[in-house]
Amino acid sequence: MSLDRRLVVLLSLALVTTACVGRRSSEYTPPAAPTIPPTTAARADGLSSFDIRVTDDGYVSADQVPAGRLAITLHNDGHGQRNAQFLRLNDGVSLAQLAATFQNEQRSAMSLVSFAGGPGTVPPGGTQEVVQDLVEGQYVMVTLLLGEDGFQYVPSGMFKPFRVVGASAASTSAPLPGDERILLEDFGFAIPPLTAGTHTLRLDNVGKVPHEILVKRMAPQKTLADALAFVLTPVGTPPYADAGGALVFPGSQSVSMALDLAPGQYVAICYFRDSVTRKTHAELGMIRDFTVD
């Protein structure tokens, strides 16, 4: 087993975050083999774009991106749910060191990385764009899902190391998009009224700890209680479907995300686990339903 693969297997066993239940679709037909430029490209708004395509075999993206503010888009060309949680290795920590520490002492290994955002979970054929700042360093992106048996796993091949290098004045100076604002608090969401259509939402983590927001569209006749029950016991058919989101990023930081919302009932969830109580943030109050008219 290669070092990178061993690293991600160990990460999947030790990470303190809980992700979404794995689902595979046989109805979706993926496009032809994706092509991704080896570097990022500048957009008209001044942001550098970082495109990530994920297939059933793994991630396809640039191996190196510039530091600063990036527009990051995940394209799910596979048959199952996918996301891209970014983890930044602390300065001076190598991939080999992180893998070895996870193997020997998983809890202490978490002190070697920090959660650094990334595009949230989308279904086959879905896309998710987030805009966020990345500082220089070594990163890995991984898909984190929760199986029906309640155990966390990384789907085969769903990992990729990448580096953030240099400093791009153009990308750093571009403003953070967002015509509406969602607050991520310790422990709750403040969500403005939302109408059907495309939204660019600024996400402000005003808490002291990392948070995420995963947006789900509720199935007919399902309630907030059903959603929380499924978070606690993820067995059977979920009471909701993936609608996008932004993955775990630190307190006192902001990112933005684009959502295309159809009319209906939705729920916002933070699955991250509290380091003291070991409860999910959803259990502590970070689960909220809202209506899109």
107 membership: H or E segment, kind and range: helix 106-109
The vertex-242 CA angle with 239 and 248, nearest 5°, equals 115
How far, in Å, CA of 164 to CA of 60, rounded?
A: 16
How far, in Å, CA of 142 to CA of 159, rounded?
A: 4
Provide CB contacts within 8 A for 171, sequence distance 6+: 46, 47, 48, 66, 67, 68, 69, 70
Provide CB contacts within 8 A for 225, sequence distance 6+: none
Q: Give the 3-state secondary structure of residue 52.
A: strand
Provide CB contacts within 8 A for 276, sequence distance 6+: none
What pLDDT sits at residue 242? 95
Which candidate, 114, 64, 259, places its Cα nearest to that of 179? 259
Q: Kindly report, residue by residue over 199-223, the tens digit of the pLDDT.
A: 999 999 999 999 999 999 999 999 9
Residues of the chain with pLDDT under 70: 1-41, 106-107, 147, 149-152, 167-173
What pLDDT sits at residue 144? 82
Peptide bond into 249 cis (omega under 30): no
Report DSSP state, residue 40: -
What pLDDT sits at residue 278? 86
What pLDDT sits at residue 13? 45
17 with 118: CB under 8 angstroms? no
What pLDDT sits at residue 2? 53
What are the backbone angles phi and psi of residue 250, rounded to the nearest 5°? -70, 160
Report DSSP state, residue 149: T
pTM: 0.87
Residue type, 264: G
What pLDDT sits at residue 15? 46
Give the distance from CA 215 to its chain's centroid. 11
Scan for tokens 């309640």, then name that residue.
150
Provide CB contacts within 8 A for 269, sequence distance 6+: 213, 214, 216, 227, 231, 282, 286, 287
How far, in Å, CA of 118 to CA of 73, rounded?
A: 9
What pLDDT sits at residue 19? 46
Which candidate, 21, 2, 246, places its Cα nearest to that of 153? 21
How far, in Å, CA of 24 to CA of 177, rounded?
A: 32
